[in-house]
Amino acid sequence: MVVDAATGKTKPEQGGHVSALDTALTQFEAVADFLNLDENVRCILRVPKRELIVHFPVRMDDGSIHMFTGYRVQHSLSRGPAKGGIRYHPDVTLDEVRALAMWMTWKCAVVDIPYGGAKGAVTCDPKALSLKELEGLTRRYASEISIIIGPEEDIPAPDMNTNAQIMAWIMDTYSMHRGYSVPGVVTGKPLSVGGTLGRVEATGRGCMNMAREAVKHLGFSLEGAEVVVQGFGNVGSVAARMLEERGCKVIAVSDAVGGVYNRNGLNTRELIQYKENNPNFWNSKGCDQITNAELLELPCDILVLAAMEGQLTEANAPRIKAKTIIEGANGPTTPEADKILENNGVLVVPDILANAGGVIVSYFEWVQDLQYYFWEEREVEKRLGTIMRRSFQQVLSSSQEKKVSMRMAAYIQGVSRVVDAHLARGIYP
């Protein structure tokens, strides 16, 4: 897809597929129109501040050399250092990374933490790599992007198909280049090298907090609420377990291949354990198999979207029966689907608010690393809950006052804060 830097307009990909960047730009233009933003400000915020594309060799276990492509995109630095995860996926593209970086800018601003937005990626299938190959790829990618990352510049974190071990390799590689340990260069690290308690569960815990606030607003309780979770990875499984612990009945969950369904409720802890040893967890006993398409349309109180972008579209949105949707993934709902869901009275807690738990606790980790002083887990959880509840109430109040959707209200809050910072700083020189 070609993006015009002056207008921000894009052309749909072949076959009519709506890309993540299409969605991100459409959302931005809608809020820019609502705020009546000056065209000069729009032209700056439509495009990233900096993009780095790297092509690098990795020696494979069989002795052959394979070339990989990696990206690091920094969308905005107006409110502070850039912040954003790194994903490993065979289908990742530069446009996808651009969209994710933009969403990170709004996400950090909507929960009012002092970061700009960034995102990184390597086009690869990590499941096809040995541990040695994965480490080699990670260290070489870290070396390539080390020219623009750092604790005061750009702080990566885990994302899809990356984890604490990969962050440790990046931190170690960056530190070797500097000649001393720099734990604050990444977040989501193991505790042994400067990680924080509560980081692994942070995004899922944040989704649970948002579900609790959403149902409270809708006038019912988590106790007995029926929950459906698309995406049973780190975010979805944690959200499912924590919602079940608070009295919800989780009736269906899925991963990329398929899912399981039981109207009487699933045991999420058993499913998490089963999935660790059996990748085909949809074959677990006592459950019915279900496709992702069927799962999305199940009648339920809470639908947690924790998979990929573009899951709810104008094609399936009319059949969504959930009372509220919690977007644990980035960009799971297209703008066309948004309108349909709003007209049908479905409360959508948007991604830039719902899944901000991860970046909030990453911020806590960064602060702890800079101070070399670490908190107890209960303090991390308490601070996370406070920020998320406050942010939800601010967005809800804005939504009610301006008579707009929760997504538009969140974007108004996030974009306004970025614009204020940009205008205060001005343009150099």
Catalytic machinery residues:
119
Instruction: With beta carbons less than 8 A apart as the criterion, state whether 333 and 296 touch.
Output: no
Name the one residue in this structure whose structure tokens are 């052959």: 64
304: phi > 0 → left, psi -120 to 50 → alpha, else beta; which? Answer: beta
Going by C-alpha positions, the residue among 390, 384, 362, 371 that lies closest to residue 154 is 362
* Helix or strand run (H / E) with residue 54: strand 50-59
Q: Which two tokens stand for residue 184?
A: 């604050």
State the Rg of the chain over Cα. 21
Distance CA 46, CA 28 (A): 8
In the chain, the N- to C-terminal Cα span, in Å, equals 32
Going by C-alpha positions, the residue among 74, 87, 80 that lies closest to residue 141 is 87
Number of other residues whose CB lies within 10 A of the CB of residue 336: 16
Which 3-state string (H, E, C) describes 299-346?
Answer: CEEEEEECCCCCCECCCCHHHCCEEEEEECCCCCECHHHHHHHHHCCC
